[in-house]
Chain A
Amino acid sequence: MSRDLYGRLKQLKRAAAGRPPEPPRASAAQTPGTGETPPEGWRVAAPHVFEREMIEPLAGQRFAAPPVDGDAMFECRTLGRRVDVRTLRFMDTETTGLSGGAGTVVFLAGSARLTEDGLRVRQTLLGDFPAEPDFLRQIAADLGAGVWVSYNGKAFDARLLESRFLMHGRPPLSTEHVDLLPWSRRLWRRRIGPCALSDVERKVLDRPRIADVPGIEIPERYFRSLRAGEFVELEPVFEHHYRDMVSLVHLFFRIEAVLASPLEDESVDPYRLGRLLLSRGDASGLELLEREVRTGEEAAHRAAILLSRAHRRAGRPAEAIRVLTACSSGHAETIAVELAKIHEHDLRDPAEALRVLTEFLHRDGSREPSDPLAYRLARLSRKAGVSASADRSAASGSESPLVD
């Protein structure tokens, strides 16, 4: 009965898809390899779970890591506390799909870490699905402690691993986690656009990839390897995964370096970094925002406003006025209003505030002021003891009432 059903199903589905019959394919049971032999250079960690570890000397690396000997503590600025550099786990996974869900499996996981011997990169491969419990045990040994550093790992790798651990009745790994994707976007998106890791490698780290396997091919290569019972096809994937983790090390220390001396790296977005540092109370933020104002680019006026407010809070209204006056990026109304606020509230000089605004209207004489501006003008006029209408007609030369 079941053969009959099978035949019918094949017929149905083939007809439905409008495809010619597929040539019979060898099923897994008949293939020569059984997936028990590790890829070359890997060792068997458990049945169908393979592992390899490679060490790159730290000398000659292009990243500037803090010393790994002694107490190895350093001020980790992405995390905001002191950390032992040896506890960092630069981690990455390769998966059987990108959509998540219970049917998406992590088949390759690993970490790079800094040791006294050098940069130790460990990779663990799931040789076939039934071995997943052992695979997860190996991963837990590698990644169960320390601080994870990943690229988009908070949204993807960590969640997927959590699902896998839960499905196998194991407590999920729980560690601190620095995700470099949001950092990269903050620092470089304005300059380089999309921030896939490969973009950042090429445009920021100057580590372009050669002959990299496209991510979209990776699941299919894994499935084919499983069917073939050997992992030759995965060699480029191993290489890709390895490089990803090493790139994470480079990127991490690059970002740390930027944060340590934010004024020295010309490649970063001065506005977003400046804003961040300002919010952290770091005075370099002021200088970065000054740079942004000087660029006269799109965010210049926002930088100017942030900066002027920082100066106002610090009791330096004159500085605030200087910054705003120096800003020439358009958005004249916003700037004028901001200036008027300083005159009105900080310097208690409504007449000057009124003058700034009327001067703006004069320059901008072509159109009616917006409602909030009209209200502000009216209030300032009252405060300054000048009749609104008189002043307004002086400003715009029009008789139309600004306010009711």
Chain B
Amino acid sequence: MSSVTRWERIPAREGSYEQLPEDLDPRLHAALRGRGIDSLYTHQAESYRAARAGKDFVVVTPTASGKTLCYNLAVLQAVLETPESRALYLFPTKALSQDQQSELNESVIAGELGVKIVTYDGDTPVSLRVSARDKGQIVISNPDMLHAGVLPNHPKWIKFLRNLRYVVIDELHTYRGIFGSHMTNLIRRLKRIASFYGSDPVFICCSATIGNPGDLAARIVEKEMVLIDRNGAPSGEKHLILYNPPLVDRVQGIRRGVVNESQRIALRFLRAGVKTIVFSRSRTRTELIASYINKSLANMYNENSRIRVEAYRGGYLPNERRAIERGLRDGSIHGVVSTNALELGIDIGGLDAAVLGGYPGSVASAWQQAGRAGRRSTVSLAVIVASAAPIDQYIVKHPEYFLGRSPENGFVDPDNMYVLTDHLKCAVFELPFRDRGGFPEGSEAVLDYLEESGVVRRTGDACYWADRSYPAEHVSLRSATSDNVVIVDTTRGRHEVIGEMDRPSAKELIFDNAIYIHRGSQYVVTQLDLENRRCYVEASDVNYFTDALVKRDIKVLEEDEHHVVAGCRIVVGDILVRSQVAKFKKLRFTTHENIGYGEISLPEEEMHTRSIVLLFDPDSRSGSALAALDPSEIGPALSRIGTLVRNVAPVFLLCDPRDIGVAERVRDPHFGVPALYVYDSYPGGSGLSEAFRSRVGDVLGAGLELLHGCPCAEGCPSCVGPRDPEEEVDGNPKSAVDHFLSGWLEGG
């Protein structure tokens, strides 16, 4: 118990219910009753009323609160009343949309009501597309498909778009930062085309608990949104436990590892018949924890436990994932170990306990994961097991920080120049511009620019696309490539696809000779063929797993602008961020001791992007402030400035922390002086680093203010980051940063 740093009890809550709406179609009524649903939670009823009244709304849906009914009810009702009505459901990923369709088809009502539901995404065979477009009453898709497939070909969708009544945007909270900025522009395009065909759909958004759901929804949809956040679903008593694994080496401060501790705790729950989900921070850890648990269970004599535990992560084949989800719902699977893949709204029913193997990095995610344990009537519990990372250690030592903080806000900046320009191109392609058509003030200037670069023609009173290209093809909504490598099991002449993985991860996880664990079975990679996007594996039974060492470096390609801001030289230019896996470690199972190395020969992963570089020349105000620190403090202070920038910049740049990259160099090889890079984590750039250039003073000033106002003693995740025992700083890193920043900004 001494390892438990906080035990928080959240009391049970009664549900609040309403009768099924009176105007509900009798067929829908009967179908619901057939499934034992004879009343609605108040938030479901409220959603139904809002949708029926044609109000756009966002409903905040904690896990297990009956989210899908919040939109399905009104949509199905509309389709039953007027079979020509159409609805578009957008899910952030292909996997989620397929989940959704199978759920709608399998467990909901649609089948017996004769409502035609289709998935339209990159996997939809060409032969089925025509009928999907013409006959689908509910079309389930994702933003990428809407962007590159549907909108540019809207005349083919005329029947659908003309009758579009509802647009559902699920998992709204994932549309933050640059991705969210793309989403707003995509919705602008959708509204514009819909209005061209005479429809004005109602927008329904669903969001997990974040700091500003109403605000985010209003920014994505650009309409007034009714916020429905009074959850009517009941919940049993909940316990939240913060757990810091015991020290094994008091002198060096080494604690028991998060993998072993998580599996130990989960095992205790499982053996006691408690249905448990374990969240882990990586795919490899997920497989490790699952296999350790299964091994320990197998050790119990005569396998009497009959406890079934599965791993779950992205990269499993859809039918495998479906089977696990089903097993969790029907109770045949008792435990699951997952990456954050199960954090999103996939229906797995209620579980009794959640074990978070490491703090997931944000308050919103932590609550979302903890919420996976939670039943309507019984007691549930969530344990956050801290890893050795400074942020985890901070959370368990300062529980009030975590408990007292509201979940993060989601920011978007739809008028980001890069994003807006890209979408205006797509929009002109889709339909000539006569007025701004829902795009913001300033769009005219972008159109002027596009006219001058020769892709747009302004004539008469409108702007026309005047280029031979198909612009959506060159605009990606996401920073990561969606290229997948298929994993093929070739054991004993077999040739069977067992999973898939995105290309950048493949380089780090399934290189030649890597050990790949898939649902507890071990394979060795015989060949990673990136060109043909195949990875061949064979069954293996070695006693280790592998872990690649990733090396990242930055090369300056072009220095475009030089400025001096607040006593600091600033360069804006192009950089190449390269990550290379050159070596891997072999780690013994269970003990995780290092038993050898191997070489990896794979091409580097490169990202060409835009960056701003802050240079601390010795004779400048910033440089001398830095030089005034103790030499051992310079490195840590620079890296703390990086953390501070990450924490503060999103507020000014309206982005998400993951949209920007920060790297510091005590002595930069290109510039020869201490340097701090802040770059766009987006191939080709996203305009954030340029926007940052004009806000450097504001961001750093706000950073200093934050630092002064922060009640922590030695730094915390909200300011410069918690104290890291790995750093060899004698003094307090917080005060070192304070001296540096004050000296620099206040010219002290």
- 0/1 per residue, A316-328, Cβ < 8 Å to B? 0000000000000
Residues of the A chain whose Cβ atoms lie less than 8 Å from the Cβ of B429: 101-103
Residues of the A chain whose Cβ atoms lie less than 8 Å from the Cβ of B690: 12
A99 CA to B451 CA in the complex, in Å? 21
- 0/1 per residue, A87-106, Cβ < 8 Å to B? 00000000011111111110
- CB pair A130–B460 under 8 Å, yes or no, is yes
Residues of the B chain whose Cβ atoms lie less than 8 Å from the Cβ of A223: 454, 457, 466-467
Residues of the B chain whose Cβ atoms lie less than 8 Å from the Cβ of A25: 452, 454
- Residue B446 interfacial (CB < 8 Å): yes
- CB pair B468–A96 under 8 Å, yes or no, is yes
- 0/1 per residue, A219-242, Cβ < 8 Å to B? 110010011000000000000000
Stretch at the interface among A161-169, A259-267, A286-294: A161-169
- Residue B558 interfacial (CB < 8 Å): yes
A163 CA to B152 CA in the complex, in Å? 11
Residues of the B chain whose Cβ atoms lie less than 8 Å from the Cβ of A6: 445-446, 448-449
- Residue A28 interfacial (CB < 8 Å): yes
With contact pairs A97-B470, A102-B155, A163-B155 given, residues A10 and B459 touching in the complex (Cβ less than 8 Å): no
- Residue A79 interfacial (CB < 8 Å): no
- Residue A211 interfacial (CB < 8 Å): no
With contact pairs A15-B572, A129-B432 given, residues A28 and B153 touching in the complex (Cβ less than 8 Å): no
User: Which residues 555-611 in B have Cβ within 8 Å of A in the complex?
Assistant: 558, 560-561, 572-574, 610
- Residue A59 interfacial (CB < 8 Å): no
Residues of the B chain whose Cβ atoms lie less than 8 Å from the Cβ of A102: 152-155, 429-431
| Count of chain A to chain B residue pairs whose CB atoms are closer than 8 Å in the complex | 125
With contact pairs A103-B470, A129-B462, A163-B155 given, residues A18 and B558 touching in the complex (Cβ less than 8 Å): yes
Q: Is the interface of B mostly helix, strand, loop or mixed?
A: mixed
* A16, A103, A129, A164, most chain B CB atoms within 10 A: A103
With contact pairs A6-B445, A9-B446, A227-B457 given, residues A220 and B421 touching in the complex (Cβ less than 8 Å): no
A102 CA to B467 CA in the complex, in Å? 12
- CB pair B442–A1 under 8 Å, yes or no, is yes
A162 CA to B442 CA in the complex, in Å? 34
- 0/1 per residue, B409-453, Cβ < 8 Å to A? 000000001100100000011111000000001101110110111
- Minimum CB–CB distance from A20 to chain B (whole Å) comes to 11
With contact pairs A16-B685, A167-B155 given, residues A28 and B457 touching in the complex (Cβ less than 8 Å): yes
- Minimum CB–CB distance from A129 to chain B (whole Å) comes to 4
Residue of A nearest to B452 (CB): A25
- Residue B230 interfacial (CB < 8 Å): no
A164 CA to B158 CA in the complex, in Å? 12
A22 CA to B560 CA in the complex, in Å? 16
Q: Number of contact residues on A: which range applies?
A: 35 or more
Residue of A nearest to B561 (CB): A15
- 0/1 per residue, A1-25, Cβ < 8 Å to B? 1110110111011011010001011
With contact pairs A9-B445, A10-B449, A162-B155 given, residues A129 and B459 touching in the complex (Cβ less than 8 Å): yes
- CB pair B465–A16 under 8 Å, yes or no, is no
- CB pair A12–B152 under 8 Å, yes or no, is no
- Residue B327 interfacial (CB < 8 Å): no
- Residue A269 interfacial (CB < 8 Å): no
- Residue B156 interfacial (CB < 8 Å): yes
Residues of the B chain whose Cβ atoms lie less than 8 Å from the Cβ of A162: 155
Q: Which of A1, A24, A29, A96 contacts B466 (CB 8 A)?
A: A96
User: Which residues 69-112 in A have Cβ within 8 Å of B in the complex?
Assistant: 96-105
With contact pairs A9-B449, A12-B418 given, residues A103 and B155 touching in the complex (Cβ less than 8 Å): no
A18 CA to B558 CA in the complex, in Å? 8
- CB pair A27–B452 under 8 Å, yes or no, is yes
Residue of B nearest to A216 (CB): B468
- Residue A157 interfacial (CB < 8 Å): no
A85 CA to B188 CA in the complex, in Å? 50
A104 CA to B153 CA in the complex, in Å? 10
Residues of the B chain whose Cβ atoms lie less than 8 Å from the Cβ of A167: 155, 431
Residues of the A chain whose Cβ atoms lie less than 8 Å from the Cβ of B558: 18
- Residue A244 interfacial (CB < 8 Å): no
- Residue A128 interfacial (CB < 8 Å): yes
- Minimum CB–CB distance from A155 to chain B (whole Å) comes to 12
Residues of the A chain whose Cβ atoms lie less than 8 Å from the Cβ of B154: 102
Residue of B nearest to A166 (CB): B155
Residues of the A chain whose Cβ atoms lie less than 8 Å from the Cβ of B442: 1-2, 5
Residue of B nearest to A130 (CB): B460
- CB pair A130–B470 under 8 Å, yes or no, is no
- 0/1 per residue, B460-481, Cβ < 8 Å to A? 1110111111111100000000
A214 CA to B432 CA in the complex, in Å? 28
Residues of the B chain whose Cβ atoms lie less than 8 Å from the Cβ of A97: 467-470
- Minimum CB–CB distance from B199 to chain A (whole Å) comes to 15
Q: Which of B431, B458, B462, B470 contacts A99 (CB 8 A)?
A: B470
* A8, A25, A129, most chain B CB atoms within 10 A: A129
* B158, B432, B572, B574, most chain A CB atoms within 10 A: B432
A13 CA to B424 CA in the complex, in Å? 14
Q: Which of B417, B452, B459, B472 contacts A226 (CB 8 A)?
A: B459
Residues of the A chain whose Cβ atoms lie less than 8 Å from the Cβ of B703: none
Q: Which of A9, A99, A100 contacts B421 (CB 8 A)?
A: A9
A103 CA to B430 CA in the complex, in Å? 5
- Minimum CB–CB distance from B329 to chain A (whole Å) comes to 42
Residues of the B chain whose Cβ atoms lie less than 8 Å from the Cβ of A166: 155, 158
Residue of B nearest to A165 (CB): B155
A98 CA to B470 CA in the complex, in Å? 9
- 0/1 per residue, B594-634, Cβ < 8 Å to A? 00000000000000001000000000000000000000000
Residues of the B chain whose Cβ atoms lie less than 8 Å from the Cβ of A8: 417
Residue of A nearest to B431 (CB): A102
- CB pair A9–B452 under 8 Å, yes or no, is no
- CB pair A2–B441 under 8 Å, yes or no, is yes
Q: Which of B428, B462, B685 contacts A103 (CB 8 A)?
A: B428
- Residue B687 interfacial (CB < 8 Å): yes
- Minimum CB–CB distance from A37 to chain B (whole Å) comes to 15
Residues of the A chain whose Cβ atoms lie less than 8 Å from the Cβ of B472: 101
A227 CA to B445 CA in the complex, in Å? 19
Residues of the B chain whose Cβ atoms lie less than 8 Å from the Cβ of A5: 417, 442, 445-446
User: Which residues 314-349 in A have Cβ within 8 Å of B in the complex?
Assistant: none
A105 CA to B457 CA in the complex, in Å? 13
A219 CA to B465 CA in the complex, in Å? 12
Q: Which of B152, B452, B685 contacts A101 (CB 8 A)?
A: B152
A219 CA to B468 CA in the complex, in Å? 6
Residues of the A chain whose Cβ atoms lie less than 8 Å from the Cβ of B462: 129-130
A129 CA to B558 CA in the complex, in Å? 40
- CB pair B468–A220 under 8 Å, yes or no, is yes
- Minimum CB–CB distance from B737 to chain A (whole Å) comes to 31
Residue of B nearest to A8 (CB): B417
* A1, A97, A102, most chain B CB atoms within 10 A: A102
Residues of the A chain whose Cβ atoms lie less than 8 Å from the Cβ of B468: 96-99, 219-220
- CB pair A101–B445 under 8 Å, yes or no, is no
- Residue B684 interfacial (CB < 8 Å): yes
Residue of A nearest to B434 (CB): A130
Taking A6-B446, A28-B451 as given, write out 8 further A-B residue pairs in contact, using a Cβ cutoff of 8 Å, ordered by the A residue number. A15-B560, A15-B573, A97-B467, A102-B152, A102-B154, A104-B470, A129-B457, A219-B467
Task: List chain A positions with a Cβ less than 8 A from chain B.
Answer: 1-3, 5-6, 8-10, 12-13, 15-16, 18, 22, 24-25, 27-29, 96-105, 128-130, 162-164, 166-167, 219-220, 223, 226-227
A-B contact pairs, 15 of them (CB 8 A): A2-B444, A9-B445, A22-B452, A28-B457, A28-B459, A97-B468, A102-B155, A102-B429, A102-B431, A103-B152, A103-B430, A105-B464, A130-B460, A164-B155, A227-B457
Top 8 closest pairs, chain A to chain B, by CB: A103-B429, A130-B460, A99-B470, A219-B468, A97-B468, A6-B445, A163-B155, A103-B465
